[in-house]
Structure 1
Amino acid sequence: MTLQEIMALHLVNLAFARDRAGRICVAGTAAPWLTPELRGRAQALAAAGEFVALEAMLARSVWRYSGKLGGVARNAGVDFLLRDTCAELGPAAANGVLQRALGVAVDGRLGAEVRAVLAGAEVEPAPLLRALDAARRAAGSDAGRARAAVRLAQAFAPRATARPLTAVAAG
Protein backbone atom coordinates (compact mmCIF):
# COMPACT_ATOMS: atom_id res chain seq x y z
CA MET A 1 0.00 0.00 0.00
CA THR A 2 1.40 3.43 -0.92
CA LEU A 3 1.69 6.40 1.41
CA GLN A 4 -1.02 8.12 -0.60
CA GLU A 5 -3.40 5.18 -0.13
CA ILE A 6 -2.70 5.08 3.60
CA MET A 7 -3.31 8.80 3.91
CA ALA A 8 -6.53 8.57 1.87
CA LEU A 9 -7.86 5.81 4.14
CA HIS A 10 -7.07 7.93 7.18
CA LEU A 11 -9.01 10.80 5.60
CA VAL A 12 -11.98 8.46 5.20
CA ASN A 13 -11.65 7.30 8.81
CA LEU A 14 -11.66 10.91 10.03
CA ALA A 15 -14.77 11.72 8.01
CA PHE A 16 -16.98 8.71 8.76
CA ALA A 17 -18.18 6.85 11.81
CA ARG A 18 -18.13 3.06 11.74
CA ASP A 19 -20.57 0.56 13.17
CA ARG A 20 -19.62 -2.17 15.65
CA ALA A 21 -18.53 -4.43 12.80
CA GLY A 22 -16.17 -1.73 11.50
CA ARG A 23 -18.28 -0.85 8.46
CA ILE A 24 -18.47 2.75 7.27
CA CYS A 25 -21.71 4.57 8.11
CA VAL A 26 -22.50 7.05 5.35
CA ALA A 27 -25.72 8.37 6.87
CA GLY A 28 -25.37 11.57 8.86
CA THR A 29 -21.99 12.55 7.44
CA ALA A 30 -21.77 16.12 6.19
CA ALA A 31 -18.60 16.63 4.16
CA PRO A 32 -18.20 19.20 1.38
CA TRP A 33 -16.80 16.55 -0.97
CA LEU A 34 -19.67 14.09 -0.42
CA THR A 35 -21.92 15.18 -3.27
CA PRO A 36 -25.50 13.87 -3.53
CA GLU A 37 -24.43 11.60 -6.41
CA LEU A 38 -21.48 10.21 -4.47
CA ARG A 39 -23.63 9.78 -1.36
CA GLY A 40 -26.15 7.80 -3.44
CA ARG A 41 -23.45 5.51 -4.82
CA ALA A 42 -22.01 5.07 -1.32
CA GLN A 43 -25.41 4.17 0.13
CA ALA A 44 -26.01 1.69 -2.69
CA LEU A 45 -22.66 0.00 -2.04
CA ALA A 46 -23.38 -0.13 1.70
CA ALA A 47 -26.85 -1.58 1.10
CA ALA A 48 -25.32 -4.26 -1.12
CA GLY A 49 -22.76 -5.10 1.56
CA GLU A 50 -19.87 -3.98 -0.67
CA PHE A 51 -17.92 -2.29 2.13
CA VAL A 52 -14.46 -2.84 0.64
CA ALA A 53 -15.56 -1.22 -2.62
CA LEU A 54 -17.26 1.55 -0.63
CA GLU A 55 -14.11 2.33 1.33
CA ALA A 56 -11.99 2.34 -1.85
CA MET A 57 -14.44 4.64 -3.65
CA LEU A 58 -14.56 7.07 -0.73
CA ALA A 59 -10.76 7.05 -0.41
CA ARG A 60 -10.35 7.92 -4.10
CA SER A 61 -13.02 10.60 -3.87
CA VAL A 62 -11.68 12.34 -0.78
CA TRP A 63 -8.12 12.20 -2.14
CA ARG A 64 -9.25 13.77 -5.42
CA TYR A 65 -11.27 16.48 -3.65
CA SER A 66 -8.55 17.30 -1.13
CA GLY A 67 -6.10 17.49 -4.02
CA LYS A 68 -7.39 21.04 -4.49
CA LEU A 69 -4.91 21.82 -1.73
CA GLY A 70 -2.71 18.77 -2.16
CA GLY A 71 0.69 19.13 -3.69
CA VAL A 72 1.23 22.52 -2.08
CA ALA A 73 3.27 21.01 0.74
CA ARG A 74 6.33 18.81 0.34
CA ASN A 75 6.17 17.40 3.86
CA ALA A 76 3.75 14.47 4.07
CA GLY A 77 2.44 15.51 7.51
CA VAL A 78 1.72 19.05 6.41
CA ASP A 79 0.14 17.74 3.19
CA PHE A 80 -2.06 15.38 5.19
CA LEU A 81 -3.27 18.08 7.57
CA LEU A 82 -4.01 20.44 4.68
CA ARG A 83 -5.91 17.71 2.87
CA ASP A 84 -7.96 16.89 5.95
CA THR A 85 -8.71 20.56 6.51
CA CYS A 86 -9.86 20.79 2.89
CA ALA A 87 -11.96 17.62 3.25
CA GLU A 88 -13.64 18.90 6.41
CA LEU A 89 -14.02 22.64 5.78
CA GLY A 90 -13.71 22.98 2.00
CA PRO A 91 -10.90 24.39 -0.15
CA ALA A 92 -11.57 28.11 0.45
CA ALA A 93 -11.51 27.68 4.23
CA ALA A 94 -8.42 25.47 3.99
CA ASN A 95 -6.61 28.17 2.00
CA GLY A 96 -7.47 30.68 4.73
CA VAL A 97 -6.31 28.28 7.45
CA LEU A 98 -2.96 27.86 5.72
CA GLN A 99 -2.53 31.61 5.26
CA ARG A 100 -3.39 32.34 8.92
CA ALA A 101 -0.99 29.63 10.10
CA LEU A 102 1.79 31.12 8.00
CA GLY A 103 1.03 34.67 9.14
CA VAL A 104 0.49 36.04 5.64
CA ALA A 105 -2.38 38.12 4.31
CA VAL A 106 -5.55 36.06 3.99
CA ASP A 107 -6.89 36.43 0.47
CA GLY A 108 -7.89 32.81 -0.23
CA ARG A 109 -5.31 32.32 -2.99
CA LEU A 110 -2.17 30.26 -2.75
CA GLY A 111 0.17 32.39 -4.79
CA ALA A 112 3.95 32.44 -5.02
CA GLU A 113 4.38 34.34 -1.73
CA VAL A 114 2.35 31.81 0.26
CA ARG A 115 4.16 28.90 -1.38
CA ALA A 116 7.55 30.45 -0.58
CA VAL A 117 6.64 31.04 3.08
CA LEU A 118 5.27 27.48 3.28
CA ALA A 119 8.48 26.03 1.83
CA GLY A 120 10.48 27.81 4.52
CA ALA A 121 8.11 26.74 7.29
CA GLU A 122 8.20 23.10 6.24
CA VAL A 123 11.89 22.87 7.13
CA GLU A 124 10.73 22.42 10.73
CA PRO A 125 7.21 20.94 10.43
CA ALA A 126 6.29 20.67 14.15
CA PRO A 127 5.67 24.42 14.72
CA LEU A 128 3.84 24.61 11.39
CA LEU A 129 1.55 21.71 12.36
CA ARG A 130 0.75 23.47 15.67
CA ALA A 131 -0.01 26.71 13.83
CA LEU A 132 -2.20 24.88 11.31
CA ASP A 133 -4.06 23.17 14.16
CA ALA A 134 -4.74 26.49 15.91
CA ALA A 135 -5.86 28.17 12.68
CA ARG A 136 -8.04 25.19 11.80
CA ARG A 137 -9.79 25.19 15.17
CA ALA A 138 -10.35 28.95 14.88
CA ALA A 139 -12.01 28.28 11.52
CA GLY A 140 -14.54 25.93 13.13
CA SER A 141 -13.01 22.48 12.80
CA ASP A 142 -14.41 19.75 15.01
CA ALA A 143 -12.03 19.59 18.01
CA GLY A 144 -11.93 15.79 18.19
CA ARG A 145 -11.29 15.41 14.50
CA ALA A 146 -8.63 18.14 14.62
CA ARG A 147 -6.79 16.36 17.46
CA ALA A 148 -6.84 13.05 15.59
CA ALA A 149 -5.71 14.69 12.34
CA VAL A 150 -2.78 16.41 14.06
CA ARG A 151 -1.63 13.14 15.63
CA LEU A 152 -1.67 11.49 12.21
CA ALA A 153 0.05 14.49 10.61
CA GLN A 154 2.80 14.29 13.24
CA ALA A 155 3.31 10.63 12.37
CA PHE A 156 3.57 11.48 8.66
CA ALA A 157 5.66 14.65 9.22
CA PRO A 158 9.14 13.08 9.08
CA ARG A 159 8.44 11.93 5.56
CA ALA A 160 9.44 14.49 2.98
CA THR A 161 8.06 13.80 -0.46
CA ALA A 162 10.19 13.98 -3.57
CA ARG A 163 7.16 15.16 -5.53
CA PRO A 164 3.61 16.20 -4.70
CA LEU A 165 1.27 13.51 -3.40
CA THR A 166 -1.33 13.79 -6.15
CA ALA A 167 -2.86 10.44 -6.97
CA VAL A 168 -4.02 7.29 -5.28
CA ALA A 169 -3.53 4.17 -7.32
CA ALA A 170 -6.77 2.72 -8.59
CA GLY A 171 -7.86 -0.22 -6.58
Structure 2
Amino acid sequence: MDDSTAIPLVLSGEISSGVEQSPDQFVADLYAVHANSLHRYLLLTGSRPADADELLQDAFLRLFRCLREGEQVEKPKAWLIRTLQNLRTDRARRESGHLSLMGNVVQRGQLAWTTRTLSPEEAMLDHERFDRLQRAMGSLTERQHQYVLMRSEGMTLREIAAMHGVTVQSVAETCARAIERLGKLTHE
Protein backbone atom coordinates (compact mmCIF):
# COMPACT_ATOMS: atom_id res chain seq x y z
CA MET A 1 0.00 0.00 0.00
CA ASP A 2 1.42 3.41 -0.90
CA ASP A 3 1.64 6.45 1.38
CA SER A 4 -1.32 8.14 -0.31
CA THR A 5 -3.72 5.75 1.43
CA ALA A 6 -2.28 6.27 4.92
CA ILE A 7 -4.61 8.05 7.29
CA PRO A 8 -3.76 10.04 10.38
CA LEU A 9 -4.77 8.18 13.49
CA VAL A 10 -6.10 10.60 16.07
CA LEU A 11 -8.36 8.75 18.47
CA SER A 12 -8.02 10.44 21.85
CA GLY A 13 -5.63 7.69 22.84
CA GLU A 14 -7.86 4.73 21.93
CA ILE A 15 -5.12 3.02 19.96
CA SER A 16 -2.24 5.40 19.34
CA SER A 17 -2.34 9.12 18.85
CA GLY A 18 -0.64 11.01 16.05
CA VAL A 19 0.53 7.93 14.13
CA GLU A 20 -0.29 7.40 10.47
CA GLN A 21 -1.71 4.00 9.58
CA SER A 22 -3.23 2.47 6.51
CA PRO A 23 -7.02 1.98 6.69
CA ASP A 24 -6.63 -1.80 6.83
CA GLN A 25 -4.23 -1.64 9.80
CA PHE A 26 -6.38 0.97 11.52
CA VAL A 27 -9.51 -1.22 11.18
CA ALA A 28 -7.55 -4.32 12.27
CA ASP A 29 -6.41 -2.48 15.41
CA LEU A 30 -9.95 -1.29 16.12
CA TYR A 31 -11.23 -4.83 15.66
CA ALA A 32 -8.69 -6.16 18.15
CA VAL A 33 -9.69 -3.52 20.71
CA HIS A 34 -13.49 -3.44 20.31
CA ALA A 35 -14.79 -6.61 18.64
CA ASN A 36 -15.47 -8.58 21.84
CA SER A 37 -17.37 -5.79 23.60
CA LEU A 38 -19.37 -4.99 20.47
CA HIS A 39 -20.24 -8.67 20.04
CA ARG A 40 -21.40 -8.82 23.68
CA TYR A 41 -23.46 -5.67 23.13
CA LEU A 42 -25.21 -7.26 20.15
CA LEU A 43 -25.99 -10.42 22.12
CA LEU A 44 -27.30 -8.44 25.09
CA THR A 45 -29.54 -6.39 22.84
CA GLY A 46 -31.20 -9.44 21.33
CA SER A 47 -29.12 -10.58 18.35
CA ARG A 48 -28.55 -14.28 17.80
CA PRO A 49 -24.86 -15.28 17.91
CA ALA A 50 -24.64 -15.97 14.16
CA ASP A 51 -26.36 -12.66 13.37
CA ALA A 52 -24.05 -10.81 15.76
CA ASP A 53 -21.01 -12.24 13.96
CA GLU A 54 -22.36 -11.17 10.58
CA LEU A 55 -23.41 -7.70 11.75
CA LEU A 56 -20.01 -7.13 13.31
CA GLN A 57 -18.24 -8.14 10.11
CA ASP A 58 -20.49 -5.86 8.03
CA ALA A 59 -19.91 -2.88 10.36
CA PHE A 60 -16.13 -3.21 10.25
CA LEU A 61 -16.26 -3.62 6.46
CA ARG A 62 -18.29 -0.40 6.18
CA LEU A 63 -15.79 1.39 8.39
CA PHE A 64 -12.94 0.19 6.18
CA ARG A 65 -14.73 1.40 3.04
CA CYS A 66 -15.43 4.82 4.57
CA LEU A 67 -11.80 5.25 5.55
CA ARG A 68 -10.55 4.13 2.14
CA GLU A 69 -12.79 6.79 0.58
CA GLY A 70 -11.13 9.42 2.77
CA GLU A 71 -13.92 10.00 5.29
CA GLN A 72 -12.92 11.03 8.81
CA VAL A 73 -14.30 9.02 11.73
CA GLU A 74 -13.60 10.88 14.97
CA LYS A 75 -15.16 8.37 17.37
CA PRO A 76 -14.82 4.93 15.81
CA LYS A 77 -16.49 2.94 18.61
CA ALA A 78 -19.54 5.20 18.61
CA TRP A 79 -19.59 5.06 14.80
CA LEU A 80 -19.47 1.25 14.92
CA ILE A 81 -22.28 1.00 17.49
CA ARG A 82 -24.51 3.29 15.46
CA THR A 83 -23.72 1.32 12.30
CA LEU A 84 -24.48 -1.96 14.08
CA GLN A 85 -27.83 -0.60 15.24
CA ASN A 86 -28.68 0.59 11.73
CA LEU A 87 -27.64 -2.72 10.16
CA ARG A 88 -29.71 -4.68 12.67
CA THR A 89 -32.74 -2.43 12.13
CA ASP A 90 -32.44 -2.82 8.35
CA ARG A 91 -32.16 -6.59 8.70
CA ALA A 92 -35.19 -6.78 11.00
CA ARG A 93 -37.27 -4.75 8.54
CA ARG A 94 -36.21 -6.96 5.63
CA GLU A 95 -36.86 -10.21 7.50
CA SER A 96 -40.19 -9.39 9.08
CA GLY A 97 -41.55 -6.40 7.26
CA HIS A 98 -41.70 -4.49 10.56
CA LEU A 99 -39.42 -3.79 13.47
CA SER A 100 -39.96 -5.59 16.76
CA LEU A 101 -38.28 -3.27 19.23
CA MET A 102 -37.90 -5.52 22.23
CA GLY A 103 -38.23 -9.08 21.01
CA ASN A 104 -36.06 -11.50 22.92
CA VAL A 105 -34.11 -9.16 25.17
CA VAL A 106 -31.66 -11.50 26.88
CA GLN A 107 -31.66 -15.27 26.77
CA ARG A 108 -30.77 -17.32 29.83
CA GLY A 109 -27.94 -19.07 27.97
CA GLN A 110 -26.20 -15.73 27.48
CA LEU A 111 -26.18 -14.70 31.12
CA ALA A 112 -22.94 -14.73 33.05
CA TRP A 113 -24.36 -16.29 36.21
CA THR A 114 -25.48 -19.86 36.73
CA THR A 115 -27.95 -21.62 39.01
CA ARG A 116 -26.04 -24.93 39.28
CA THR A 117 -24.93 -24.40 42.88
CA LEU A 118 -28.33 -23.21 44.09
CA SER A 119 -30.91 -25.32 45.84
CA PRO A 120 -34.06 -26.06 43.81
CA GLU A 121 -35.93 -23.38 45.76
CA GLU A 122 -33.18 -20.80 45.18
CA ALA A 123 -33.03 -21.75 41.50
CA MET A 124 -36.79 -21.24 41.16
CA LEU A 125 -36.52 -17.81 42.80
CA ASP A 126 -33.60 -16.97 40.51
CA HIS A 127 -35.66 -17.91 37.44
CA GLU A 128 -38.56 -15.79 38.70
CA ARG A 129 -36.23 -12.80 39.17
CA PHE A 130 -34.84 -13.32 35.69
CA ASP A 131 -38.35 -13.49 34.19
CA ARG A 132 -39.32 -10.24 35.98
CA LEU A 133 -36.15 -8.56 34.70
CA GLN A 134 -36.78 -9.77 31.16
CA ARG A 135 -40.37 -8.47 31.23
CA ALA A 136 -39.18 -5.18 32.73
CA MET A 137 -36.47 -4.75 30.07
CA GLY A 138 -39.09 -5.50 27.42
CA SER A 139 -41.27 -2.67 28.73
CA LEU A 140 -38.59 -0.01 28.24
CA THR A 141 -38.55 2.20 25.19
CA GLU A 142 -35.93 1.31 22.60
CA ARG A 143 -33.78 4.28 23.64
CA GLN A 144 -34.04 3.43 27.37
CA HIS A 145 -33.14 -0.18 26.60
CA GLN A 146 -30.09 0.84 24.54
CA TYR A 147 -28.84 3.32 27.13
CA VAL A 148 -29.16 0.83 30.01
CA LEU A 149 -27.25 -1.83 28.08
CA MET A 150 -24.57 0.65 27.01
CA ARG A 151 -24.14 1.73 30.63
CA SER A 152 -23.88 -1.93 31.65
CA GLU A 153 -21.07 -2.27 29.10
CA GLY A 154 -19.21 0.52 30.86
CA MET A 155 -19.92 3.40 28.48
CA THR A 156 -20.11 6.81 30.12
CA LEU A 157 -23.09 9.13 29.83
CA ARG A 158 -20.92 11.45 27.74
CA GLU A 159 -19.99 8.64 25.29
CA ILE A 160 -23.64 7.62 24.91
CA ALA A 161 -24.69 11.24 24.38
CA ALA A 162 -22.02 11.80 21.72
CA MET A 163 -22.98 8.62 19.91
CA HIS A 164 -26.68 9.52 19.78
CA GLY A 165 -26.23 13.24 19.22
CA VAL A 166 -28.05 14.27 22.42
CA THR A 167 -27.03 16.04 25.62
CA VAL A 168 -25.51 14.28 28.60
CA GLN A 169 -28.47 15.54 30.64
CA SER A 170 -30.90 13.84 28.25
CA VAL A 171 -29.04 10.53 28.58
CA ALA A 172 -28.94 10.86 32.37
CA GLU A 173 -32.68 11.55 32.55
CA THR A 174 -33.50 8.67 30.21
CA CYS A 175 -31.33 6.29 32.25
CA ALA A 176 -32.90 7.49 35.49
CA ARG A 177 -36.42 6.88 34.15
CA ALA A 178 -35.39 3.45 32.89
CA ILE A 179 -33.82 2.45 36.20
CA GLU A 180 -36.86 3.69 38.11
CA ARG A 181 -39.15 1.65 35.84
CA LEU A 182 -36.95 -1.44 36.15
CA GLY A 183 -36.96 -1.06 39.93
CA LYS A 184 -40.75 -0.85 40.09
CA LEU A 185 -41.32 -3.77 37.72
CA THR A 186 -38.73 -6.12 39.20
CA HIS A 187 -39.88 -5.64 42.79
CA GLU A 188 -43.59 -6.31 42.27
Relative to the length of structure 1, the TM-score reads: 0.31
Q: Which has the higher contact order (CA 8 A, sep 6+)?
A: 1
Larger Rg belongs to: 2
